[in-house]
Structure 1
């Protein structure tokens, strides 16, 4: 009999199951269980990207390096001047897009360097003639010949967040961020909408890096499996898919309408003592360059996305704050930048920016009073800097060249608010900010001329949703990876994510008058090769 996990982690089968699950959930869950209201819809005609719509400081110029991309998430450079660009293969609302990595030569030639990864691809890193790829549940390497080798596998990345950014440390080891499975420690119905994974991977839950004991706090939730099982007669599948769907919806014999779930437990389970593991949630992990010797470097993060060792020998990490959603909604949680210390704990799931989530400022209109999940807490390390709630701090880089300017400053991409999926409306992000480490002051460096509604809907010609700011190897050009237009449509049990493929852009910023050697701009990726079968 086919193994369920193997079946579900095959992209073609996953697509069919996701379509089935999304349809069933829309039929089963009433409008009152999710945010409702009027949200900006994606315009029928999305403006073409236009560098003149981007705002940068005087003395800098913006151009389009690449366009027509499907969910680009990362850019990297090798010693020969070649550029590598990854398309994610997954965003909310588009779960099975392809995952190519393009190689762009100095003359502008574009080839498909590698593909077949598990979306989302979240980061690229070039080191010692290998391209390291962080993609769902794995770290892989790609040789110059295009051969792919998985060096780290089975990471806990089948929930809300995945394994993320990578960096080489002063010790020559590979460091990367691993996100949590849930929003705030509890598996619930928010993991059905809009994240879908509870139906596909019902055993998933957050895993601590060290042994912990839980309080009596638990959450009563409608039995999602029973609700969905009652929709099972809507569609029929082949024997393998029928077996998988039946197994998912009947993994236990619980016929009650409501179930209780504790933190760090699978849906409907209530253990109070949880064993720590190396492949754990909300961590910075490190390993040898071949993937061996995997260990926990720090823990207690929520979604450590950007991971960069600075020239000062400090490890800087961006971490996304909680959302006001799910069984344990936490409002007004800021995003953070941490200087990571070995073996330190950063507060997930009971602290936000160093403040207990029991503080009244985090009380959401959509939930009850917040209590701790962990019975005892390790010593807490504080954030180096905070950013606005829901700005969605993403990947960043340090300026290293006086010819560009602001040497030593951080250039941080901020994806922007995810309202309504993230809870209460909170408009921020959609830009790249420059941070002076000496003063911790942030100023806009790249933004676009648009209203809030235009930014939320994607009806802009300038930058829309930056996910990475990355300097070229010589430090003379700053590249901004803009994933593209992702909005929401109020339909069915929605609002549901409504992304627009092909709207991804790579923007390039240089000092006016700087004509350093680089590939030409305004490139578009090659179309897929025709299938000869």
Structure 2
């Protein structure tokens, strides 16, 4: 991957490339807020349960899983918005608490790990790979369309023995635009990236007149003379695109500036549930028309459940008031992207944004649209989940869903009442109740920053015996505003794995309060 450091600096400086936001424009924070150490006292759970800090000092943890010998595996993503340089790696923690670096050199972000048939499967940018007993990494699927806003996501083993996983889309709502240059950057690095349908589609005549990102930046020449390496990086990008016009007309499902009406479908498509054999062969589309199917899990009822993150109010085609959804996935079903939200046409007035023109369909024709099993609040950012299988832990059959919370101010207006929590959902009544929340949030605007409690949960995962719930908390990603506009300020080393058991019960897993800091690390596993 090419270095993006100079680009991050440039994009923070260029005011005319910033999406509209209602967050007041200020100045760059000179010092990051002090983030306290995690403390189980601030992790609120229902009466009769106990929370503890299982592991801390992590850089962007995203997933946890377990092997048959009782070892615990923890993945650090290696990439979050605002930090593209962290290492993407996996730790193995033994029953005694010994921490080893199990595997690394992945392409961030790692979004999920899955232990199956004595090997660890890793979902990381554009690939599904396996890690053998000696730590050797082997790619089983490559070339997934994960170089846009979203990536290939969680994996789960189906009743047919195949592995199912989610694949996100490249854009917010089907159209490559200026928001893909700032703050997401990829339009400048990979200008050919775009959404790919799973089946042949015909587009409507809707098109969008959008600023040419490279030329918008080029016209800020007075800001690009800060350092020679910055100027060199920008010049290299601008030279790729000889288009001198300031505005470009573009359509959905194709690279920025192209105008085709018929788009061919592909197997390695955006917004899909894909499935494959355990060796990576036989890759096929199981369902399509999703936006960012992040959590993917077969339930105890034999249904495939998927969380799908909703549209943001940004880009060339901003969509307002869209809510996250949980779907029961039907084979060959179409779930509405990019023209429906929660099974409702985006042309409905409730989705109209003041930031864009009147919403119209991108697709000329639509398959029958599937309806959500459950709708979650706007900007809850519903992520990964698991089901209780143990009467001792309780709530057998209930879903335990992590919700990251709003990425304010990057995606849209703040919604402080949603997310930052693990909710328990009764599948019979579909009633959702908080199960893990923060009892000591920080001050206004810093609720998930200056706090010792849970910040941004991204996964709930039960131990193999079902008696312990592990919650992966990616850590502090603080949204700040500079003179150029909003951008993320992540705080490394703030990731936590929380562990929840019944009060009085003893977890069968490793001891608590572990840390992968170098002073406590052991040597890598043999063969690495």
TM-score normalised according to structure 1 size? 0.92
Paired residues of 2:501 and 2:507 also in contact (CA < 8 A)? no
Match for residue 519 of structure 1?
Answer: 510
Counterpart residue number, 2:162:
173
Gaps of 5+ in 1: 1-8
Check if 1:77 corresponds to 2:82.
Answer: no
Inter-partner Cα distance in structure 2 for 1:452 and 1:214: 47
Which 5+ residue runs of structure 2 have no aligned equivalent?
A: none
Give 2:426's match in structure 1, choosing from 405, 424, 436. 436
**1:20 maps to which residue?**
6
- In structure 2, which of residues 468, 481, 500 is the aligned counterpart of residue 477 of structure 1? 468
Cα offset, 1:233, TM superposition: 6.5
Question: Quick check: 1:166–1:177 contact (8 Å CA) kept in 2?
Answer: yes
Q: Which secondary structure does the structure 2 equivalent of 1:30 belong to? A: helix
1:255 equivalent in alignment to 2:241: no
Distance 1:123 1:228, change over 3 A: same
Whether 1:497 aligns to 2:488 is yes
* Paired position in structure 2 for 1:306: 295
Residue 406 of structure 1 aligns with which residue?
Answer: 395
Q: Matched residues in 2 for 1:38 and 1:28: separation?
A: 17
Closer/same/farther in 2, CA of residues 31 and 155 from structure 1, 3 Å limit: closer
| Greater Cα shift, 499-508 or 517-526 | 517-526
| 1:507 pairs with one of 467, 473, 498 | 498
Give 3-state SS (helix, strand or coil) of 1:23's partner: helix
Match in the other structure for 1:202: 191
Q: CA deviation at 1:247?
A: 6.1
SS at the partner of 1:89? coil
Structure 2 length normalisation: TM-score? 0.93
Q: Distance in 2 between matches of 1:21 and 1:169?
A: 42
- The 1:125–1:351 alpha-carbon spacing in structure 2 relative to 1, beyond 3 Å, is same
4+ aligned runs moved over 6 Å, structure 1: 39-42, 528-531
Paired with 1:234 and 1:492, the residues of 2 have a C-alpha distance of 16
Q: Is the 8 A contact 1:160 1:180 kept in 2?
A: yes
1:227 and 2:216 aligned? yes
Determine the structure 1 residue equivalent to 2:379. Answer: 390
The whole-number CA distance in structure 2 between the counterparts of 1:246 and 1:436 is: 55
CA distance in 2, matches of 1:248, 1:215: 32
Residue 44 of structure 1 and its aligned partner are, at CA, apart by 2.7
Report Cα offsets for 1:353-412 as digits up to 9, x if no partner: 000000010111211211100000011111111100100000000000111000000000
Query: How do 1:274-423 and structure 2 match up within 5 A?
Result: 274-423=263-412
Contact 1:464 1:484 in 2 (8 A): yes
CA–CA distance in 2 between the matches of 1:291 and 1:406? Answer: 35
CA displacement at 1:245 relative to structure 2: 6.2
Contact residue 53 and residue 448 of structure 1 kept, 8 A: yes
Secondary structure of 2:327's match? Answer: strand
Instruction: Give the corresponding residue for 1:460.
Output: 451
CA RMSD of aligned residues (A): 2.1
Cα separation, 2, equivalents of 1:255 and 1:332: 36
Q: Distance in 2 between matches of 1:473 and 1:60?
A: 19
For residues 31 and 205 of structure 1, what CA distance do their matches in structure 2 show?
A: 20
